[in-house]
Amino acid sequence: MYRTITHAATELFPTIYCRRITERSHDKMAFHKVLLVPWLAASQIHAFTTKISHVATLIPSTKKSDVKCRLDFLSAVPDTQNHDDASIAATTAPKPHKRRERYSGRYPKNFKDKYKERQGDEETISKVLAKGMTPAGQHVPIMVKECLHYMGLEDNQHDRDSPVLVVDCTLGYGGHSSYILKQIMNSTDARLIAFDQDSVEIIKTEERLRKAVLEETDTATESAGEGNDIFTAVNQNFAELGSYMTSTNQVGKVTSLLADLGLSSMQIDNNERGFTYKRDGPLDMRMSPEDDSTETAYQLLQRLRVRQLKSMLKNNSDEEFADEIAFGLIGDRSKIPKTTMELADRVRDIARPLIVKQHNWNSEQIGKNQAKKLKSQLDSTIARVMQAIRIEVNGEFRVLERLLEDIPTKVLSPGGKVVILTFHSGEDRRVKKSFKSGFKSGIYSAWSRDVVRPTKEERRDNPRSSCCKLRWAILSDQIAN
């Protein structure tokens, strides 16, 4: 049989080299899987495999546990002299295995290297969560139980037969939305509309939530069927919520609204987005990275004057060293930082002597405890500077104020509930002022005079929740939209 196959090959290719290998089979030999060299013409390959397949049909189809076929066409050289020994060796030589880039330490630091977490490896994810960290590419929702309670979506709080229309202003990874969907899934008339301006993350989140909805409703189709009518994802900034409700004829029909104003963990962890100073990346900070009409953080710094940056740092993050930092960052137009690490290093160099002087420390003899406190204050200063720039790049205060104006007039139904999660004083001041003035004027029937904070256990398990504040309000039944 081996001679027959070899003869069939040499008829097609006069000069051919073979070597023997052992291949086991319980039935017919899979001769069509013989390896051919890349420069053989397609017609030659077809003619050869056709003849070999014919020979294979002659093999008895009896079950033999030790049938062996010793054939491997290692290389073939056509009669033409177009290929010399060097080109043949280069073509047949196996490609070297490319190892992934190694990193130092037990866990990788860069987002792109955290492939196990991003691919959903359960063992790695459980270890990361046990350390009180957030797995790369994921987001742990904050105060889920409290949000559902103040939105009136707990099991014993809403009538399953009453219409329910919920709006999640910040879809992100879909953490809060997934819990909302579970609560309203069994209602006879319930829908969730989720907004997010991040064109990168909304696609992945929408696909994941729609799949979850299909599984819950036991729908077999992969496309949006009846079960998917419960969920709508809108790739817009929540500043457009009022306009959206008007254009879709849903003004004053929302029963519950949630706005989580914090950055999602996916944005923070991905250093290419430019939101973190702990890993180097471009100074971007745009929520919609594909939107070329929005300037990047670097472009913003290029455009601003020192007095404008100083005012921005004070208004957006209450930065006490705003004067010195503004001048140090853009005073010399030729040295404006282009990356997150450059910005962090520059702010650190500017703020270090100011903090040392503030505490009357000896700059040449800083003790261990002083060094620890100095590092903490420097990190906080850098975070505030990046926060102020990010807020300006994305116009976060402007869109929040627009949302607060539209909630009672274009969004909520009478008795509707709104919950807002804030992460710094600038946001909280605006939410508190709006709810308080609305309560005094009779727009809201109740509001949270005191903020709701995460429990001690949640702050331990999810450190990113530590600075979060929850405020809620209920629209008066007397308000007519």
Q: Are strands 67-68 and 24-25 parallel, antiparallel or unpaired?
A: antiparallel
Whether 318 shows a pLDDT value over 70: the answer reads yes
Distance from first CA to last CA of the chain, Å, rounded? 88
CA separation, residue 296 to residues 180, 262, 303, 400 (Å): 34, 19, 11, 20
Q: Phi, psi at residue 229, to the nearest 5°?
A: -65, -15
**How many DSSP H helices and E strands does the chain contain?**
18, 11
- This prediction's pTM: 0.69
Could you read off the pLDDT of 403-453 as tens digits, one per residue? 999 999 999 999 999 999 999 999 999 999 999 999 999 999 999 999 999
In this prediction, residue 251 carries a pLDDT of 95
Whether 140 shows a pLDDT value over 90: the answer reads no
CA separation, residue 452 to residues 347, 384, 428, 466, 469 (Å): 33, 23, 12, 12, 6
DSSP designation for 104: S
In this prediction, residue 282 carries a pLDDT of 94
Token representation of residue 172: 């992100």
CB atoms within 10 A of CB 25: 14
Could you read off the pLDDT of 14-31 as tens digits, one per residue? 444 444 444 444 444 444
For the ranges 153-157, 173-177, 208-212, 339-343, the one whose mean pLDDT is highest: 339-343
In this prediction, residue 123 carries a pLDDT of 64
Q: What average pLDDT score do residues 203-219 get?
A: 79
Could you read off the pLDDT of 290-305 as tens digits, one per residue? 778 889 999 999 999 9
Handedness of CA 403, 405, 409, 412 (dihedral sign): positive
CA angle 452, 457, 462 (to 5 degrees): 85
